[in-house]
């Protein structure tokens, strides 16, 4: 019981200085991003991001010029300290995600660099989305 009280006391003392998922300063990723070339069999991609109110979450929409692997996929982006994860087609058998980092040019967002991960594939697809 004493150990449990010590853990609770420690957690309480640390909780006021601990913030989850907040980037300082905030980076607004809202906008349109494009790949400069084809991403595997997915073709050239366009990514639209729109911030959800006053959060570090964004609605995401990715569109392909080919429509082979994907035509349009709806996603949800989370941002924390320049690290982004976009989950696409959540709840479907074909769900996948993008994981990467925000590349800055001074105080402006330049691009998103990372990889697509498909749960049913061993390989990942490297991709850079440049902001337009």
Whether residue 17 is contained in a domain is answered as no
Whether residue 10 is contained in a domain is answered as no
Whether residue 42 is contained in a domain is answered as yes
Between residues 3 and 59, which one has the greater pLDDT? Answer: 59
Q: Quote the domain boundaries for residue 121.
A: 26-131
Whether residue 19 is contained in a domain is answered as no
- The backbone torsions φ and ψ at residue 86, rounded to the nearest 5 degrees and listed phi first, read -120, 115
pLDDT band at 71, cuts 50/70/90?
confident
Whether residue 74 is contained in a domain is answered as yes
Question: What's 62's domain CATH number?
Answer: 2.40.128.120
Between residues 19 and 80, which one has the greater pLDDT? Answer: 80
The pLDDT tens digits of the residues spanning 4-43 come to: 334 334 444 444 444 455 545 789 999 999 999 999 888 8
Whether residue 93 is contained in a domain is answered as yes
Inter-residue contact 32 to 112 (CB < 8 Å): no
Whether residue 103 is contained in a domain is answered as yes
Where do the H-state alpha helices sit in 22-116? Answer: none
Please determine, for residue 82, whether its predicted confidence score (pLDDT) is greater than 90.
yes
pLDDT band at 125, cuts 50/70/90?
very high
């Amino acid at each position: 019981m004493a150990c449990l009280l010590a853990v609770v006391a420690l957690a309480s003392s640390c909780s006021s200085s601990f913030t989850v998922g907040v980037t300082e300063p905030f980076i607004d990723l809202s906008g349109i991003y494009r790949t400069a070339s084809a991403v595997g069999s997915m073709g050239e991609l366009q990514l639209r991001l729109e911030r959800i109110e006053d959060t570090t979450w964004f609605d995401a929409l990715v569109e392909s010029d080919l429509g082979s692997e994907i035509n349009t996929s709806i996603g949800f982006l989370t941002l924390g300290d320049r690290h982004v994860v976009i989950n696409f087609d959540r709840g479907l058998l074909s769900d996948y995600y993008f994981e990467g980092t925000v590349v800055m040019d001074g105080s402006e967002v330049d691009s998103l660099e990372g990889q697509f991960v498909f749960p049913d594939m061993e390989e990942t697809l490297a991709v850079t989305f440049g902001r337009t």
